[in-house]
């Protein structure tokens, strides 16, 4: 293993790796339960603001803008813990959710409210909140 | 809400959205505990093979190749459940892990074995397996 890989995987330096679009994937989970709430992306500015304020900021790929989650909904995500993975190209953030405690714009607690069902070669989604 | 958005968010059709690089982000968690093990990406072929075989396949962005997780390590991930999010651009897959039950190539159960610590304006990572 070369020195760079060792430092990235085992070191104490936080060296987040942004992809060719300047983004890093971020899994957000509920601190109390560990339930996965959503997946979104941060750019360097969103990560900087998240660390500086303790409130999660994302980069919206569809709207192409910085996005302080909860600004309109009140579902502000307060950071409890941030983890990074072996190659530091993903983040796992545990949060407390403000407002009504939900994370999804459809009104569900988690964005992952549908389960894929495979039957007789056909695929369908079933609404089945976690 | 237009019809396409409604169908994507509330419908029963599985319509995974791959990004401009042909990839969809995939959060993998342990079925028994819900613990997040890793984040990786699938292209259309990896998703097709995962659904056809019940074994998780990814697309390695660094190696630029299809990757059947566990082929060399024995840490094969058998799919228990697949979920998708509101806009169908991410997957949450619950798995049972084969071999020694670990998901990370560094020998840890989860790839998210480091926690970010902020103190006096300095950032550092602490090894602290989930």
Beta-strand ranges (E) seen in A1-130 are 24-30, 36-42, 57-60, 65-68, 77-84, 90-97, 114-119, 122-127
> Which of A44, A63, A90, A94 is the mutation pick for testing B, counting most B CBs within 10 A?
A90
Residue in B with minimal Cα distance to A90: B39
- Return the pLDDT at B130: 72
Instruction: Give the residue-averaged pLDDT of B88-94.
Output: 98
Are A125 and B84 spatial neighbours (Cβ–Cβ below 8 Å)? yes
Do the Cβ atoms of A84 and B112 come within 8 Å?
yes
- Return the pLDDT at B1: 73
Number of helices (H) and strands (E) in chain B: give both, helices first: 2, 8
CB contacts < 8 A, A to B, total: 113
Name which of A14, A27, A114 is nearest B84 (Cβ-Cβ).
A114
The per-residue b/e assignment along A64-94, b for 16 or more CB within 10 angstroms, e otherwise, is eeebbbbeeeebbbebeebbbbbbbbbbbbb
- Return the pLDDT at B3: 86
Among the listed residues B11, B44, B49, B81, the one whose alpha carbon sits nearest the alpha carbon of residue A118: B81
Instruction: Give the residue-averaged pLDDT of A35-58.
Output: 98
Are B125 and B116 spatial neighbours (Cβ–Cβ below 8 Å)? yes
Residue A94 with chain B: CB contacts under 8 Å: none
Interface of A with B (CB under 8 A): 9-14, 19, 25, 27, 29, 34-36, 38-39, 51, 61-62, 81-87, 90, 92, 104-106, 108, 111-116, 118, 123-127, 130
Residue A25 with chain B: CB contacts under 8 Å: 25, 39
Q: What is the mean pLDDT of chain B?
A: 95
Are A23 and A17 spatial neighbours (Cβ–Cβ below 8 Å)? no
Residue A15 Cα, gap to closest chain B Cα (Å) = 10
- Return the pLDDT at B99: 95
- Return the pLDDT at A89: 97
Residue B104 with chain A: CB contacts under 8 Å: 85-86
pLDDT tens sequence across A77-112:
999 999 999 999 999 999 999 999 999 999 999 999
Distance from the first to the final alpha carbon of chain B: 40
Residue B38 with chain A: CB contacts under 8 Å: 85, 90
The interface pTM score, or ipTM, of the predicted complex is: 0.95
- Return the pLDDT at A95: 98
Residue B23 with chain A: CB contacts under 8 Å: none
The answer on pLDDT for A2 being more than 90 is no
Residue A64 pLDDT class (50, 70, 90 cuts)? very high
Q: How many CA atoms lie within 13 A of A57 on its CB side?
A: 16
Instruction: Give the residue-averaged pLDDT of A20-24.
Output: 95
Residue A93 with chain B: CB contacts under 8 Å: none
Instruction: Give the residue-averaged pLDDT of B78-89.
Output: 97
Do the Cβ atoms of B125 and A9 come within 8 Å?
no
Residue B2 pLDDT class (50, 70, 90 cuts)? confident
The answer on pLDDT for A130 being more than 80 is no
Are A37 and A29 spatial neighbours (Cβ–Cβ below 8 Å)? yes
Residue B129 pLDDT class (50, 70, 90 cuts)? confident
Instruction: Give the residue-averaged pLDDT of B92-96.
Output: 98
């Amino acid at each position: 293993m070369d020195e760079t890989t060792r430092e990235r995987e085992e070191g104490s330096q936080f060296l987040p790796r942004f992809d060719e679009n300047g983004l890093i994937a971020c899994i957000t989970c509920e601190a109390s339960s560990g339930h996965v709430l959503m997946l979104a992306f941060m750019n360097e500015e969103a990560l900087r603001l998240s660390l500086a304020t303790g409130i999660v900021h994302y980069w919206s790929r569809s709207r192409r803008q910085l996005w302080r989650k909860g600004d309109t909904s009140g579902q502000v995500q307060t950071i409890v813990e941030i983890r990074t993975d072996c190659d530091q190209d993903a983040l796992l953030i545990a949060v407390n959710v403000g407002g009504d405690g939900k994370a999804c714009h459809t009104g569900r607690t988690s964005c992952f409210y549908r389960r894929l069902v495979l039957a007789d070669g056909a695929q369908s989604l079933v609404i089945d909140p976690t």
